[in-house]
Structure 1
Amino acid sequence: MVVLHTTLGPLTADAVGLVLPHEHVLVDFRLPGEAPADAADPGAVVARMAPALRAAAAGGVTAVVECTPPGLGRRVDVLEAVSRAAGLPVVVATGVYREPWVPDWVYAASDADLERFLASELTEGAGGTGVVAGFIKVSAGDDGLRPVEERVLRAAARAAASTGALIGSHTADGRVVLRQLDVLASEGLPPERFLSIHTQLVTDPGLRQEVVDRGAWIEYDHVGQGDDEAALALVLASLEAGHLSRLLLSHDAGWYDPALPGGGEQRPYTTLNSTFLPRLRAAGVGGPDLDRLTRLNPFAAFAR
């Protein structure tokens, strides 16, 4: 059975409506060794972020993909507590981010160790909890894959192949995305199990087109970040280019940061459904296409 793995258990396709495929609840960008192990106060995170998730649910969201990997302050126990308090399923990530946020243990680990770590979080539970991770989050620098990032990517490819999981990569340069796809192909992973995150940052339409032509997913996750006119134009151009079946939309919102007083300021998870989708509809995008963008595509990408 194909399911979406979440903090509230596996969800089948008939239990899922609108899914936000790229958001954050809790994230800490302090470098390894800078943040205390107990940096996040669970009660404070729940008090601030559960209402934000409840507002998303009230607006029609049925699941949120939380894209913080280990090494950036990921606390699966806290994500589960926020999710249960809000009554909204959250998909959590395993993986390893790019340098300089790569944890020290990764450098010392063997390739087999890296693969086992990822696979175990995808099948047994992540972060010392019983919550199964829903996908693998990786990253790469804009100047190309560094050796440790390629090692992580290859381990991710093998873990994804054995579990069926999606690999999502924070990679801003389209040429590096294509290099990642080459590495995954050499490991035997189909491009359909790869998501180019933040594809709005790939400014060359030809590079975006090549990523889609290879069969990978692309994601515009800047809705509600201040220039929805540009975001709307990009989505419409992408649909015109034939990307409907490979495109995901989200906000990259939330962001409780324990390094900031009170967790900082958070953007809401509600703009997509409240204002952006109505604008797409007014621009001529029909209901079935909106359903594909917000329900069918995210489920197809992240479920396994």
Structure 2
Amino acid sequence: MLKPGITYSHEHIAIDLSGIKNTDDTRLDCMEETVREFKDLYEKGVRNVIELTNRGMGRDVAYMNEVSQLTGISVICSTGFYKEPFFPEEVYSLTEEELTSLMVKEIEVGIEDTGVKAGIIGEIGSSVDKFEESELKVFRAAIEAQIKTGRPLITHTSLGTMALEQVEMFRNRNMDLDKVIISHVDLSGNAEYILSIIRTGVNVAFDTIGKENYQPDDLRVEMLKKICEEGLSHKVLLSMDITRKSNFRYKGGIGYAYLLDVFIPKMVEAGISKQDIRNMTESNIRRILLQEER
């Protein structure tokens, strides 16, 4: 259930990529610290988190539910498959139709035996500058699941690449492009490229905020200001995509609240209006999820 208030549109509460990444840092199993940070987010107006840990990524719905119950923040769970090399075996052994059926079942019936229905398809990913064949298979299956259920589809772009190629796949199936959110476009560092994506009709997410080892946040603000000046803030979402324990405050990281405490004040200082910020943090995701008109 989407509550009125701020939504973090691309996060991970319980995720385990440690087998591929070969580091325990990418296993989020720090319940106490997550609850502490989420209670802080609640005090600052956050009411919803879109949780994009899907099949094969260490998804733990019971864990997510406990965080939600202890903090008051609504967690919207996802279905789908990530990207190479993080796919579970079923991506290779099942047909596209069977993969679609799995996703539809998790949306309409529930995830495993939890009774929790997925509200989002995602994050569905492509590799840097290319689609692997297995990724194309997942995209085709996810597109069919989106068409069957009407649920929004959130994609992953590796370093911001392949966004326009993803859009072309959606166009070929006549999808409602306003139900698509293309993630990590801020990693491209290219405002004109991002504007070209938005102008196709899809939504985009600046959702690696605070990860300055990829792009400086000042550049993110500069790109967002240009998008707002073009009158397109209604097509942008904000989030942080925290996937490592080292991102948490108890480990000396920036923490989930960085978006609110540091980044949004930078946007205000740059002259981005409160209405544009409200669009990116509250209104847009409601439209996408609930078909509310802006």
| TM, length-normalised to structure 1 | 0.84
1:130, distance to aligned residue in structure 2 (A): 1.2
Alignment partner for residue 89 of structure 1, among 53, 59, 74? 74
Alignment partner for residue 68 of structure 1, among 21, 29, 53? 53
Q: Which runs of 5+ in 1 are unaligned?
A: 1-9, 258-262
Alignment partner for residue 236 of structure 2, among 247, 253, 257? 247
| 1:265/1:114 CA distance change after superposition, 3 Å | farther
Q: How is 1:194-209 mapped onto 2 (pairs within 5 angstroms)?
A: 194-209=180-195
| 1:56/1:115 CA distance change after superposition, 3 Å | same
Q: How is 1:262-281 mapped onto 2 (pairs within 5 angstroms)?
A: 267-281=254-268
Q: Distance in 1 between matches of 2:19 and 2:202?
A: 31
CA contact (8 A) 2:179 2:288 kept: yes
**Amino acid in the other structure paired with 2:101:** R
Is 1:237 aligned with 2:226?
yes
1:45, distance to aligned residue in structure 2 (A): 3.5
Q: Distance in 2 between matches of 1:265 and 1:94?
A: 31
Equivalent residue number for residue 158 of structure 1:
144
Q: Distance in 2 between matches of 1:219 and 1:25?
A: 18
Q: For 1:221-266, what per-residue CA distance to the aligned partner results, in whole angstroms no more than 9, with x for missing partners?
A: 1323344322222211221233211111112236459xxxxx9776
Q: Which runs of 5+ in 2 are unaligned?
A: none
Alignment partner for residue 97 of structure 2, among 112, 127, 138? 112
Q: For 1:199-220, what per-residue CA distance to the aligned partner results, in whole angstroms no more than 9, with x for missing partners?
A: 0122343332221111011111
> Once superposed, which parts of structure 1, at least 4 consecutive aligned residues long, lie more than 6 Å away?
none
Equivalent residue number for residue 38 of structure 2:
53
1:297, distance to aligned residue in structure 2 (A): 0.9
Judge which range, 160-169 or 263-272, deviates more.
263-272
Judge which range, 277-286 or 263-272, deviates more.
263-272
**Percent identical residues:** 25
CA contact (8 A) 1:69 1:94 kept: yes
Equivalent residue number for residue 136 of structure 1:
121
CA contact (8 A) 1:75 1:127 kept: no
Is 1:125 aligned with 2:114?
no
Equivalent residue number for residue 83 of structure 2:
98
Alignment partner for residue 295 of structure 1, among 278, 282, 285? 282
Greater relative contact order structure (CA < 8 Å, 6+ sep): 1
Q: How many residues align?
A: 281
SS of structure 1 residue aligned to 2:272: coil
CA contact (8 A) 1:67 1:93 kept: yes
CA contact (8 A) 1:222 1:231 kept: no
Q: Distance in 1 between matches of 2:193 and 2:210?
A: 24
| 1:250/1:31 CA distance change after superposition, 3 Å | same
How much is the aligned-residue C-alpha RMSD, in angstroms? 2.5
| 1:201/1:275 CA distance change after superposition, 3 Å | closer
SS of structure 2 residue aligned to 1:179: helix
Equivalent residue number for residue 171 of structure 2:
185
| 1:250/1:153 CA distance change after superposition, 3 Å | same
**Amino acid in the other structure paired with 1:247:** V
| 1:303/1:126 CA distance change after superposition, 3 Å | farther
1:104, distance to aligned residue in structure 2 (A): 0.7
Equivalent residue number for residue 10 of structure 2:
22
| 1:143/1:285 CA distance change after superposition, 3 Å | closer
